[in-house]
């Protein structure tokens, strides 16, 4: 490896062996970090209490700028990025639904996610109003 510094130009010249080593290290790094990201995104990220939006909020603006649609499969989470797809499993019944995060919340103490009415119906949460769930990130 040769380091040349001259004038305003600063660069490193790598011979073939050094370049191959650099590529090997780069590929290994990318494989390890990609595997970590995939493993983390497939893991259960949280378990806790879920609730759902009141129908009276239908048509109101969410934190992402979208309008809340009670018939869409959407949800509010405190920290997941907008657009994240999350599998929500109701622990009492094992029923699951995939929602898209488009709002911030919930703001009720002890809750980890607020679901749209449609998502709550699919899980069977409407009658109880709330229940214990597991959240798994399944993609952006």
Q: Kindly report, residue by residue over 70-120, the tens digit of the pLDDT.
A: 999 999 999 999 999 999 999 999 999 999 999 999 988 899 999 999 999
What is the β-pairing status of strands 96-103 and 74-76?
parallel
Is 3.40.50.1950 the CATH number for 45-139?
no
Mean pLDDT of all residues in the chain?
83
Q: Yes or no: say if 86 and 98 are a contact pair by the CB < 8 Å rule.
A: yes
| pLDDT greater than 50 at residue 67 | yes
Whether the Cβ atoms of residue 50 and residue 63 lie closer than 8 Å to each other? no
Q: Is 18's pLDDT higher than 90?
A: no
**Closest CA relative to residue 108, chosen from 58, 49, 57:** 49
Which pLDDT band holds residue 39 (cuts at 50, 70, 90)? very low
pLDDT of residue 41: 47
What are the boundaries of each domain within the chain?
Answer: 2-39, 45-139
Q: What angle do CA 102, 63, 45 make, to 5 degrees?
A: 45
């Amino acid at each position: 490896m040769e380091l040349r510094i001259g004038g305003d130009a600063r660069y490193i010249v790598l011979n073939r062996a050094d370049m191959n080593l650099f590529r090997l290290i780069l590929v290994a790094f990318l494989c390890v970090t990609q595997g970590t990201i995939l493993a983390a995104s497939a893991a259960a990220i949280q378990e806790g209490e879920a609730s759902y939006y009141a129908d009276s909020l239908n048509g109101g603006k969410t934190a992402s700028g979208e309008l809340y649609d009670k018939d869409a499969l959407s949800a509010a989470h405190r920290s997941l990025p907008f657009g994240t797809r999350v599998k929500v499993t109701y622990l009492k019944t094992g029923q699951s639904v995939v929602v898209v995060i488009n709002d911030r919340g919930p703001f009720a103490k002890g809750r980890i996610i607020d679901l749209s009415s449609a998502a709550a119906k699919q899980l069977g949460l409407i009658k109880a109003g709330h229940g214990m769930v597991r959240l798994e990130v399944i993609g952006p």
